[in-house]
Amino acid sequence: MQFHSNMVLGTRIITSAIFVVIAIAGITFSLYLIYVANNVYMFFVAALFAVLSVVSGFFNIFTALMYYRSYFYDTHIKKITSQLKPVKRWPTIAVIMPVYNEDVRVVEKNLLRLKDLKYEKGKIKYYLGDDSTNPEMISELYRFCKKHGIVHVRRGTREGFKAGNVNNVLKISKEEYVAIFDYDEYVTDTNFLIDLIPYFNDKKLAYVQTEKSYIKGKTLFSDSIALFDAFFFKFIQQARALNNTAIFAGSCGIVKKSALDAVGGFPQYMIEDTFFSFESDMHGYNSIYVPKVYAIGKPLTTFTQLAKQQWRYNYGDTQFLRYFYKYKNPKRLTPLSNIDYVTHGFGLNYISLVLLLFTVVSVLIVFSAVPLTTITLQNLFNINANYIGVDLEIIGSFAFALSLVIPVVLTKLYFKSIKKGIMILMLNFALVVIRTKAALSALFTPPLKLDLGKIWSRYKNNNRNNLTAALASTRTEIALAAGLAGLAGLAFLNGNLTGSIWLFWYAALYSLATIFFYRYG
């Protein structure tokens, strides 16, 4: 057992070290390129490459740190759990499920399962926060709730989205604690409440969040999507919890009602859970992450669902960045906590920014490089920079290859699948434009004027194998891919075979959005 533990730690140290070495090497090389640049064009390319290297280097180093630190969380949480004292008085709990035009059969099935939660009789009350707009759906849910002793709560607006829904329920709820489950989450361990309430012996504890997981899908596509969350909960969330910055993930967790009252309820933003986590931290509360699955959710099975999810996440993350930097005097945060929140806000923005920057740099590199047939070992390392374009093309190709290999290797190492690693890489390219548009919307659209219906209409009719819908949903991606293909053709005509292949490859990657919309709906 100890040998296995040492092996795991050793693997994490080596993997983390590789991330750090790659980051330092990239930054060092970019500084070398700036130093040897011998004209304005090459200086601009080198400077842009340096920006890319610094940004990606920062995230790679921080990722390495979080990945390494997450190894120690099991010991940390076991120590906390072993010191828990018996509960002298079981508090009252409100179990809330917010819904909005969801599948009624799934809602009813999962509500009934919530009724199986083990807890002291008379201390638990169930609420359905129903924001649905379909009259038949509303009537059926009302009848179901009345039959099974569940409080059916309606409101005439969608203001504040999920946060507004839950806050509306809390106006009538008198319970001391709040447990939240999404409509598609089926409880697999009915000890959820009796396991987690003892942690609240800590009077400053605002919430306990558990690991979220999903039913194994029937396709490589849906299983690969689930790994987005798996990486977060298995590595990032654990490392953040050591800094008291574990994110309340919106469901499969318990929140102290008095802590919610202290921060004014769930902040009514697109990702209310992140905002609430930050606010509770600012108000001096603690948080705990329990790496155990108590409920499993429904997997995403279409690219349309993923596009909407990622749009919402990136819009919310960008909102959070603006909120974070405007916050008055967050003095109680440690340097690591500050970095936790900044990197969380920049997370999806970072992925999109790096891929877009790499695309721009690649184009500039291709049209600055001399033909590879003229390269000799001597002129490759010529400090006079006559061949800096070639240096850039070679190092750019190498860095791009690493960007392909690293996620694939890590997915194989920890999730036992090379195919899923390749799928995740392709999905990140397919989502670049969607995430970028979400970030721009958050920067330039006032939240109260955000029309989600108009945004979602772009994706609502995407049936599988519907080429017309796929093309209509990816106009920007198609234009980007076509532009890159045209530049690749121009490079080929200029005799730069390597550069043309490179840009054609980028064109193919950006066209993946269309392919995914067509193939998976």
pLDDT tens per residue across span 207-255: 999 999 998 867 888 888 888 788 889 888 998 999 889 999 999 999 9
> Which SS3 state, helix, strand or coil, does residue 269 take?
coil
> Has residue 327 got a pLDDT over 60?
yes
Task: Specify whether 335 is located in the same domain as 416.
Answer: yes
Residue 425, in any domain of the structure: yes
Residue-level pLDDT at 393: 53
Element (H, E) at 206: strand 205-214
Task: Specify whether 260 is located in the same domain as 389.
Answer: no
Q: Any idea what the Cα angle at residue 131 is, between residues 98 and 164, rounded to 5°?
A: 70
N-terminal to C-terminal alpha carbon distance within the chain: 46
Q: Is the dihedral of CA 183, 185, 191, 192 positive or negative?
A: negative
> Which SS3 state, helix, strand or coil, does residue 289 take?
strand
Last residue of a domain, which of 277, 301, 325? 301
Count up the domains in the chain and report the number: 3
User: pLDDT: is 327 or 252 the higher one?
Assistant: 252
**Residue span of the structural domain in which 42 resides:** 1-71
Nearest to 261 by CA among 379, 170, 141, 333: 170
Task: Specify whether 291 is located in the same domain as 313.
Answer: no
Residue 339, in any domain of the structure: yes
Residue-level pLDDT at 459: 61
- Taking each helix axis from N to C end, the angle separating 388-415 and 220-231, rounded to the nearest 10 degrees, works out to 100
Residue 79, in any domain of the structure: no
Where residue 256 sits, what CATH number does that domain have?
Answer: 3.90.550.10
Torsion angles phi and psi, residue 179, rounded to 5 = -110, 130
Pull the structure tokens for residue 66.
């979080």
Q: How confident is the model at residue 385 (pLDDT cuts 50, 70, 90)?
A: very low
Task: Specify whether 57 is located in the same domain as 204.
Answer: no
> Has residue 121 got a pLDDT over 80?
yes
Residue 351, in any domain of the structure: yes
Task: Specify whether 19 is located in the same domain as 116.
Answer: no
- DSSP line for 341-374: HHHHHHHHHHHHHHHHHHHHHHHHHHTTPPPGGG
Task: Specify whether 412 is located in the same domain as 468.
Answer: yes
Task: Specify whether 511 is located in the same domain as 400.
Answer: yes
Element (H, E) at 163: helix 161-170
Task: Specify whether 146 is located in the same domain as 294.
Answer: yes
Q: How confident is the model at residue 127 (pLDDT cuts 50, 70, 90)?
A: very high
Last residue of a domain, which of 273, 301, 329? 301
Asked if 177 contacts 256 with a C-beta cutoff of 8 angstroms, the reply is yes
Residue-level pLDDT at 380: 41
> Has residue 484 got a pLDDT over 80?
yes
Q: What is the mean pLDDT of the chain?
A: 83
Residue 80, in any domain of the structure: no
Residues facing residue 126 across a β-bridge:
95
The residue type of 204 is K
> Which SS3 state, helix, strand or coil, does residue 149 take?
coil
Task: Specify whether 278 is located in the same domain as 346.
Answer: no
Q: Compute the average pLDDT of residues 160-183.
A: 94
Task: Specify whether 281 is located in the same domain as 389.
Answer: no
Residue 140, in any domain of the structure: yes
How many CB atoms lie under 10 A from the CB of residue 19? 21
Last residue of a domain, which of 278, 301, 324? 301
What is the pTM for the complete model shown?
0.84
Residue 78, in any domain of the structure: no
Residue-level pLDDT at 410: 65
Asked if 321 contacts 346 with a C-beta cutoff of 8 angstroms, the reply is yes
CA distances from residue 277 to 46, 91, 180, 247, 271 in whole angstroms, order as listed: 40, 22, 15, 6, 10
Residue-level pLDDT at 280: 92
Whole-number Å distance between alpha carbons of 321 and 311: 16
Task: Specify whether 52 is located in the same domain as 129.
Answer: no
Among 54-68, 155-169, 255-269, 403-417, where is mean pLDDT lowest? 403-417
Residue-level pLDDT at 384: 45
Among 45-59, 177-191, 205-219, 387-401, where is mean pLDDT lowest? 387-401
Percent of the chain whose pLDDT exceeds 70 = 83
How many CB atoms lie under 10 A from the CB of residue 14? 9
Residue 76, in any domain of the structure: no
Q: Is the dihedral of CA 318, 321, 327, 333 positive or negative?
A: positive
User: pLDDT: is 273 or 496 the higher one?
Assistant: 273
> Has residue 178 got a pLDDT over 90?
yes
Task: Specify whether 395 is located in the same domain as 312.
Answer: yes
